[in-house]
Structure 1
Amino acid sequence: MTVPVRFAALGDSLTEGVGAPAADGWHGWAALLAPALAAEPVGCRLRNLATSGVLAADLPAAQLPSALAFQPHFAAVLAGGNDTLRAGFELRRTALALDTTLRELSCSGAVLLTACLPDPGALLGLPSPLARPLARRMAAVNAVVHGLSRRHGAVHLHLADLPWRTDRALLSADRLHPSPSGHLLIAREFHTLLTAAGHHLGSPPAAVAAPPAPSRAADLWWLATRGTAWVARRSVDLLPGLLALAAAETRQRLRGAGAELDARSAAVTEEVLAELGGGPPSGDGGRPAVVSLPRSPSGRAAKLYLAE
């Protein structure tokens, strides 16, 4: 390749780089990965189209046209997390938007990068009646992303499996976005996967000067200042729907029928995957991939098996 490698990054605040501040804005995982996508002296041009708060349904109109015009050699599509935080969450709409975006980029010849995302309720430590509906939604979105990644031949990172909850240094003070160390981990994981897939890249992303893990005092300060505003901005749309979900969750648990919600979510997810027509993805090493939904009050866990 004699021209600079072109890398387009689509998605939300995770890909925008929130959590890794720089003099000119953010310097997140996409910015760290870009220089490593090409061996010297070719170099790489990054067009980061990701914006905070974007929904999957926004991608085809808001980011995809610019990405296609850029004619990228590599294109990352990481979205869907914000969808789970909206009162009007609808898995089919999320899935169709992701499918359209990935299909168009794949047809343009770009190498696709995708990732499944961690559960925001677990990262924030929300109480069970609030956390379980979000976990259920995130499991459904991730199942769809797994299926679409296989359908479109994407290089897929199991980002949700990285140690976000056990290594506090990987998260910024808001507990939702990676810290500089977390962004570096994502960049290096993508580099490893691309290299294993046979792509000729440059050296792995270099280490960044990362601050120490936020202290408890820093967490509380963020919550009292920026965190309160973050919750308030989302309360208008999210909180009423989330409270309704929590109420339904509580009623089901009192009836001892919490597993019904898990089973219903799994059934809808299977239907959406079938409608997309891409077939379910297989797990690593030929093992069936399994998406575990939150445990019911009876201790049973509904699982969506995505085996061939």
Structure 2
Amino acid sequence: MRPARFVALGDSLTEGVGDPVGGGRRGWAALLAAGLAEGPVDFRNLAVSGAQTRDVLERQLPAALALRPDLVSVVVGVNDTLRSTFDIHAVAARLDTVYGACAGRGAALLTACLPDPGAVLGLPDALARPLARRQRAVNTVVHALSDRHGALHLHACGGDWVSDRALWSADRLHPGERGHRQLAVRCHALLAEHGLATGPAPSAEPEFPAPTRAARLRLLATAGTGWVARRCTDLLPQLLVLAADELRHRARGTGARLDLRSSAAASAALAALSAGERRPAAAPAESAAVTYG
């Protein structure tokens, strides 16, 4: 009997940023893999830091399907919200194709919604609210498509794990080891409830001591500075425009219009997918996904 095959798709969260081990990265997916079965598990982590939904669709999905997985995790979307090119219609279409291709191959699908980066980073309200709207739109799409494709979905967009600073790394954007372990524990419980995890649950307690204050400052001065520099050339100009729009609407007392506009865009994106189903398709979703490689 072959080992169970688990393939993880996504961005830096799934790649394991914030959970360094032995000169590399581990992360929640690797911790989860160890408890999926009593016997061996063939685990492949295809997640890449900085990946957007386009990267998952065009690069990671074809590689995942070639591995013929039993379980696929798809956790992505935050990086889309941090780009000036953010388009909820495109995000929805890509995720629908990715989810459909995995489910169409008979793989169990694991998804998660995530907190908005503005709140996690502690940005000023005028900057955080536009990002929050984008992340809520992504989460709305993820919720609906997870249900549509029969995925096991973890609600990770709120709760104590978001507000507990002990669970987050020094960059304030990625979980630390304790946070990655909590995600792994929660995913294991969800899978076990449906008979898809039969091995021991991951430990919630860290294996390594928490980084010292000096180590956290070094991380912020190196990786953190680099992250800010990269985002400044892409997101920051547009984010300042969004913030100015936020302040104008707040001064006029019309801020609710921005919330309604974002919610309507997410609903329209999902409605467009449903309308597309009623039209004859040129090729099945799975075939279309493979051609992107």
Calculate the TM-score normalised by the size of structure 1. Answer: 0.85
1-structure distance, mates of 2:159, 2:167 = 9
Cα distance, 1:258 vs structure 2: 0.7
Cα distance, 1:159 vs structure 2: 1.2
For 1:273, the aligned partner's letter is: L
Does structure 1 conserve the Cα–Cα contact (< 8 Å) formed by 2:3 and 2:41? yes
| Residue number in structure 2 paired with 1:297 | none
| Residue number in structure 1 paired with 2:28 | 29
Does structure 2 conserve the Cα–Cα contact (< 8 Å) formed by 1:169 and 1:213? no
Q: Alignment partner of 2:157: what SS?
A: helix
- Determine if the alignment matches structure 1 residue 66 to structure 2 residue 63: yes
| Residue number in structure 1 paired with 2:281 | none
Q: Alignment partner for residue 192 of structure 2, among 181, 191, 195?
A: 195
Q: Alignment partner of 1:160: what SS?
A: coil
For 2:209, the aligned partner's letter is: P
Greater helix share, structure number: 2
Q: Deviations over 1:7-44 (max 9, x none)?
A: 0000000000000001151010011011211123xx10
- Determine if the alignment matches structure 1 residue 184 to structure 2 residue 170: no
2-structure distance, mates of 1:32, 1:165 = 20
| Residue number in structure 1 paired with 2:166 | 169
Does structure 2 conserve the Cα–Cα contact (< 8 Å) formed by 1:39 and 1:202? yes
Does structure 2 conserve the Cα–Cα contact (< 8 Å) formed by 1:169 and 1:212? no
2-structure distance, mates of 1:218, 1:126 = 23
Does structure 2 conserve the Cα–Cα contact (< 8 Å) formed by 1:114 and 1:155? yes
Cα distance, 1:220 vs structure 2: 4.9
- Count the aligned residue pairs: 274
Q: Alignment partner for residue 155 of structure 2, among 154, 158, 168?
A: 158
Q: Percent identity?
A: 55
| Residue number in structure 2 paired with 1:7 | 6
Q: Alignment partner of 1:63: what SS?
A: helix
Calculate the TM-score normalised by the size of structure 2. Answer: 0.89
Cα distance, 1:121 vs structure 2: 0.3
For 2:88, the aligned partner's letter is: L
Q: Alignment partner of 1:140: what SS?
A: helix
Cα distance, 1:78 vs structure 2: 0.4
- Determine if the alignment matches structure 1 residue 76 to structure 2 residue 73: yes
2-structure distance, mates of 1:213, 1:263 = 42
| Residue number in structure 1 paired with 2:290 | none
Q: Deviations over 1:153-199 (max 9, x none)?
A: 11100111242343211100001101111111111101100111232
| Residue number in structure 1 paired with 2:210 | 212
For 1:259, the aligned partner's letter is: A
Q: Alignment partner of 2:160: what SS?
A: coil
Q: Alignment partner of 2:186: what SS?
A: helix
| Residue number in structure 2 paired with 1:248 | 245
Cα distance, 1:277 vs structure 2: 2.2
2-structure distance, mates of 1:243, 1:80 = 21
For 2:70, the aligned partner's letter is: H
2-structure distance, mates of 1:220, 1:26 = 19
Does structure 1 conserve the Cα–Cα contact (< 8 Å) formed by 2:5 and 2:42? yes
1-structure distance, mates of 2:105, 2:252 = 51
- Determine if the alignment matches structure 1 residue 54 to structure 2 residue 36: no
2-structure distance, mates of 1:137, 1:82 = 11
Does structure 2 conserve the Cα–Cα contact (< 8 Å) formed by 1:173 and 1:214? no
Higher RCO (CA < 8 A, seq sep 6+): 2
Q: Alignment partner for residue 233 of structure 2, among 233, 236, 253?
A: 236
